Structures are given as C-alpha cells and as structure tokens.
Amino acid sequence: MPVYYCTADEVREAERATGDLLTSGTLMARAAHGVARAVLGELTRTGGTYGRSVGLVIGAGNNGGDALYAGAELRRRGVAVSAVLLAPEQTHAAGLAALTRAGGRIADELPVGLDVVVDGVVGIGGRGPLRPAAAAAFAALSPHTTVVAVDLPSGVDADTGAVGEPAVRADVTVTFGVRRRAHLLAAEQCGRVDLVDIGLGAAGDRTVAALTDAEVAAHWPVPGPHDDKYTQGVVGIVAGSPRYPGAAVLCTGGAIAATSGMTRFVGAAAPQVVAHRPEVVATEEFDDAGRVQAWVVGPGLGTDAQAEARVERVLADEVPVLVDADGLTVLARRPDLLTGRAAPVLLTPHAGEFARLAGHPVGPDRLAATRALAADLGVTVLLKGRITLVADPQGRVYGNDAGSSWAATAGAGDVLSGIAGALLAAGRSPLWAGAAAARVHARAARLASGGAPIGASDLLEAVPSALRGWGELGQMGAEQR
C-alpha cells in the first residue's frame, strides 16, 4: 500500500478521537518513549550509552513535553542530559519535573561535545523560521552532533513543507501515529523518519501519498506468459530536432528500458535514434508512424510553427499523451489544445515550465500549486524536483523523494518522459505512471552515480539495473494479474 501523509489538523483530530489516551497523558508517554528509543538507537550505533551526553532544546507546549519526558528516560539509562528552556514560563511543567527528578540538568546553553541534541522547540503548530534563541542554540552545534527532531524539525511548516531560514536540519525525525505532509515535502530537512505507533487510528482524507518500492515493483508491466509486443504497450515518441537529436535518443531509450513492448518514433532525428536503438520503428512523418497506445511529445522538439503543429497533431489523437519540455512551452501559449480532450494528459514541468503554464511561480507551497494547475487544466501534472509531486485533476497526489539530486543533469528529464510514456502505453494511469517513473528514475540515478556526478546517458544505462532489483516482486505482480 502507499504511504499516506496528513495535515496538522488531521493529526489533531486523530489525537482527539483517542479520548482518554490523550487526556490521561498516555499518548505523550508513548511518544516520549519513542523519542528516547530513537536517541538510544543513535547512541548504540555510534558506541553505546556509557559516558554519552544528550542535549534538549525545549520550547513551549507538548512538543517540549515529549522531549523532556524522553530526557528523563535517557537519564535513567545513564545518559547525561542537559536541557535549555527557551520559554521557561511556558515549559511543560510535568515533563520538566520528571527530568529534574531523574537528575537532568537545566542549563543556560548547551554544553560542548554533545553526542545527540533533541529538537523539542515546536511541533506541528509551528510557523515560520526559528526564533533567535533557538537558532543560536542549533548554530552552535558541532557538525558531528546528531540532531533528533520531535515530530518535525522546528522551522518547517507541517502542511506545506516550507523551510524557514533558519530551520533545524534533522538527522532523524521521530513522529507519532501517522506521517505529516512535511515528512514528504521537506524530506531532506527531516532526515530519516521513525514512525512510532502510539495508538492513533486512520487519519486524514488519504489523498497525499507516496508509492513504496514494493508497490511499484508489483504493478510494473512485466511481461506475462501470454503477452506480446503489442499487449505490453506501443508508445510513440515525438521528440528531438536537427539541433537537439540527443533528446530523442534519450527519450526513446527511456521508453525501451521501461517495458519490453514496442517504441515508435516520429521526427527529424529518426536516423540518430535508429543508430542508437535499432529496435525503434522510426520515421520522419506521422503518416508512416503506425498506431500507438500513448504518445510522448516535446523533448528537444523546438517551439516554432512546425513544433506547434506536431504538438497539436499528437493532442488530437485520443490516446494518453505526455507533454514535456518544448511541448510545454507550446502549450503555455496554446492551452486551447487541451480543450475537449477525453483521453488523459500528463504534463511534466520543471519550475520554470510550471511558471509559464500557470502564469506565476510555483511558490513555497508546491503541493497546493501542483494541485491547482492540475485542476485548472484538467490534466495530471508532474512537478519535477528532488521531491517530485504528481497531482491529478481530482486532487490526488503522489510524491517521491529522490533521496539525492544526482538526476539534476541535462537530458535526465527526457529519460523520465520516456519511462512514464511507456507506462501510459501499458495502461497505467497518469498519476501512477508519473509517480512510478519518478521512483525508478531516482533509483537509476543513485545506482549510476555511486556518489559521483553523472550524465543523462549514465542514468539511462542504469534503468534496467534499477528495475532488475525489483524483478522478483514484479514477476509476482504479473502472475497475480
């Protein structure tokens, strides 16, 4: 199943629904134990608990209470614990008493040489950047100090993932019951997210989610015993130009690597495409292209009258269409080309292309912006970035954290378009196709990189390896279908 992400209000409602668990303090006790366990795990991983020291940065309210109770448990396990109280008059009284009874120390500033610091400044109700006292406490830390955030890194908006300047950057974020949207939208700021079961039920409308590796693998179009090249999906690529033939090569390569069906190509770069990929059925004219089950149009196409005519021709065909790159520039001036289409459309803009389509920049709330554009145009929109967001016109969203930025290289988007287009041709929905393609694309980038910069050709070559790692799960999915 996908992993779902909730708003702050949905989390609060789920907490209220527990009744006595909330009012009796049981939820807080469970949360604090989860924080303490995460800190102990970090200490154990780096040498054990003997002689180790932990700092707490404590704000007002329950988030600080979770951290204080966790500090008391750590102190009872023999860890030296010091706490800085940013708002002494608003500090959680019972949590503070528990810490002091256990032998924790209250300090004006954090000692040097701490092994772990716990961010208990603000939780899901926080807005805006860190205030000066909190910012100073975290700025003074050694870069080798592990930071564990309670619920969310302070300075990160729970719903939009907007990161304040400054904000805490956590190595580990411990959260409770359900994941918050910021854990997806600001994944890099959160570090590893540990989800602690504290007894909450299902929460939220479950419209924002992320696919898991297992789900992508199980539903990838792996050929079964009765499949042939046509049942696997025939994708048509309209890309490249005399000036940019490489875009056509990369896009068709992505499509071929994604499935074992058939790839057709239309465009001036047909000779270059066939030279690199002789299995492609290539032509320079639509009349010779043959039938397809989905089109990809735009990478390296240009934006002149001929390119516009090709985008118009593709969108007139009532099969799923993916529009990328130069095709998006054409659509920005010709949005009427989408009018009246019954078949699905997937647009794959980066931030600049998004601004041309929407008439304004993405802004800090990428989730809301992506949803709004999808609803306005009646299409599915894939907004590229380290956190890729895919939204359909009904407001459902899949996000994917690439885990790195190695795919931020020229031509990588052409590969992504080919992968997603092949999935559309195989009958996958635009929402799923975009999200699954983004996940495989990111996995391929990490495999190709090995920690060093790569080019788009390197990424393309790693796509089969990225899929091969999921082969057993994928074959199981094919047999189930």
The percent of residues in the chain predicted with pLDDT above 90, rounded, is 86
Per-residue tokens: 157: 């908006």
The reply to whether 434 and 306 lie within a common domain is yes
Per residue in 248-307, pLDDT tens?
A: 999 999 999 998 789 999 999 999 999 999 999 999 999 888 999 999 999 999 999 999
Question: What is the band of 412 on the pLDDT scale with cuts at 50, 70, 90?
Answer: very high
Known binding residue 65? Answer is yes
Q: How many domains does the chain have?
A: 2
Known binding residue 324? Answer is no
> What gap in Å lies between CA 219 and CA 385, rounded to an integer?
24
Known binding residue 198? Answer is no
The reply to whether 201 and 244 lie within a common domain is no
Known binding residue 20? Answer is no
pLDDT at 476: 42
Question: What is the band of 472 on the pLDDT scale with cuts at 50, 70, 90?
Answer: low
> What gap in Å lies between CA 9 and CA 5, rounded to an integer?
12
> What gap in Å lies between CA 139 and CA 381, rounded to an integer?
38
Known binding residue 227? Answer is no
Per residue in 388-399, pLDDT tens?
A: 999 999 999 999
The reply to whether 164 and 284 lie within a common domain is no
pLDDT at 468: 87
Per residue in 47-102, pLDDT tens?
A: 889 999 999 999 998 999 999 999 999 999 999 999 999 999 999 999 999 999 99
Taking the CA atoms of 403, 407, 409 and 414 in sequence, report the sign of the dihedral they define. negative
> What gap in Å lies between CA 154 and CA 187, rounded to an integer?
13
Whether residue 404 has pLDDT greater than 70: yes
> What gap in Å lies between CA 434 and CA 346, rounded to an integer?
8
The reply to whether 147 and 245 lie within a common domain is no
pLDDT at 364: 94
The reply to whether 133 and 272 lie within a common domain is no
Per residue in 362-371, pLDDT tens?
A: 999 999 999 9
Known binding residue 24? Answer is no
Whether residue 461 has pLDDT greater than 80: yes
The reply to whether 217 and 192 lie within a common domain is no
Per-residue tokens: 410: 């020229």
The reply to whether 62 and 176 lie within a common domain is yes
pTM greater than 0.85:
yes
Average pLDDT for residues 107-132, to the nearest whole number? Answer: 94
Known binding residue 471? Answer is no
Single residue among 182, 206, 230 that ends a domain in this structure: 206
User: Cβ distance 432 to 216 under 8 Å?
Assistant: no
Known binding residue 58? Answer is no
pLDDT at 471: 57
Question: What is the band of 474 on the pLDDT scale with cuts at 50, 70, 90?
Answer: very low
Known binding residue 388? Answer is yes
- Residue labelled with tokens 């400054």: 166
Known binding residue 302? Answer is no
Whether residue 223 has pLDDT greater than 90: no
Known binding residue 387? Answer is yes
The reply to whether 160 and 282 lie within a common domain is no
For the domain that residue 282 is a member of, what is the CATH number? Answer: 3.40.1190.20
pLDDT at 125: 84
pLDDT at 478: 42
Known binding residue 300? Answer is yes
The reply to whether 200 and 219 lie within a common domain is no
Known binding residue 413? Answer is yes
The reply to whether 159 and 229 lie within a common domain is no
Single residue among 183, 206, 229 that ends a domain in this structure: 206
Whether residue 2 has pLDDT greater than 70: yes
Known binding residue 386? Answer is yes
Single residue among 171, 206, 241 that ends a domain in this structure: 206
Whether residue 481 has pLDDT greater than 90: no
For the domain that residue 187 is a member of, what is the CATH number? Answer: 3.40.50.10260
Known binding residue 154? Answer is yes
Sequence-distant contacts of 391-394: CB under 8 A, at least 24 apart: 391/367, 391/431, 392/429, 392/430, 392/431
Known binding residue 64? Answer is yes
The boundaries of the domain holding residue 464 are: 213-480
The reply to whether 136 and 243 lie within a common domain is no
Known binding residue 439? Answer is no
The reply to whether 201 and 336 lie within a common domain is no
